[in-house]
Chains A and B, each alone.
Chain A
Amino acid sequence: QQQVKQSPQSLIVQKGGISIINCAYENTAFDYFPWYQQFPGKGPALLIAIRPDVSEKKEGRFTISFNKSAKQFSLHIMDSQPGDSATYFCPPPGGFKTIFGAGTRLFVKA
């Protein structure tokens, strides 16, 4: 299992700002790459996912992108809102068993 390097560990953004979370891997061969959002006391929920036939996918204020040269996946949250305050996880791409990193705790100030 390859290791996941997610950054930053925590992030504070003003309301309306852009939140950027990155995940880096040693080997970025993948067939499915999801981002998960978890609120306290709840299970992680699938937020947005990307497959290798595209380098970027946008759903509303959320955009997931893949930088092949940097071996990095990124989640951008535009016009961040207090309701976006949660922990965000990226798992290793592909694979049958998923092991999660520490996640990024996002706090959006009102």
Chain B
Amino acid sequence: GAVVSQHPSRVICKSGTSVKIECRSLDFQATTMFWYRQFPKQSLMLMATSNEGSKATYEQGVEKDKFLINHASLTLSTLTVTSAHPEDSSFYICSAFSGTGELFFGEGSRLTVL
């Protein structure tokens, strides 16, 4: 089946630094990808919709300057957490619809900000 890959799976950074997470669709083109944030034992919270070649659409309450999304190609979207702080520590997940209309998720990226 279609595969969505995320990298890195785990990242630890110091407060104030920026971290980039990549989301790739490995065997299909994705004009749209989604980014989620998940806190322990909670559901996926949709952060933004990443659109290839255009600006991302952010959900209410999500700071677009804090969470920069770039979707420069049909197979890659990146999420950059800028000036990260401990409260940004979370599990970030991306997803994309395949050509057959099925939604596939990445493996997730665990961010820890010290």
* Contact A43–B93 (Cβ < 8 Å): yes
B2's nearest neighbour on chain A, judged by CB, is A46
* Contact B105–A36 (Cβ < 8 Å): yes
* Contact A42–B102 (Cβ < 8 Å): no
* Contact A49–B102 (Cβ < 8 Å): yes
Give the A-B contact count at a CB cut-off of 8 A.
50
CA distance A49 to B102 in the complex (A): 9
- Say how far B30's CB is from chain A's closest CB, in angstroms: 13
Contact with A along B14-40 (1 / 0, CB 8 A): 000000000000000000101000000
Give the residue of B6, B34, B44, B104 whose beta carbon is less than 8 angstroms from that of A46: B104
* Contact B43–A43 (Cβ < 8 Å): no
Known: A43-B93, A46-B1, A98-B34. A103 touches B43 (CB 8 A): yes
- The reply on B103 being an interface residue by CB < 8 A is yes
Give the residue of A44, A49, A97 whose beta carbon is less than 8 angstroms from that of B93: A44
> Please, which residues of chain A bring their CB within 8 A of the CB of B91?
41
> Please, which residues of chain A bring their CB within 8 A of the CB of B71?
none
Contact with A along B87-114 (1 / 0, CB 8 A): 0000101010000011111111010000
Give the residue of B4, B42, B102 whose beta carbon is less than 8 angstroms from that of A102: B42
- Say how far B6's CB is from chain A's closest CB, in angstroms: 7
Contact with A along B54-78 (1 / 0, CB 8 A): 0000000000000000000000000
Q: Which residues of B contact A (CB under 8 A)?
A: 1, 4, 6, 32, 34, 41-44, 46, 49, 91, 93, 95, 101-108, 110
Q: Which residues of A contact B (CB under 8 A)?
A: 31-32, 34, 36, 41-46, 49, 89, 91, 96-103, 105
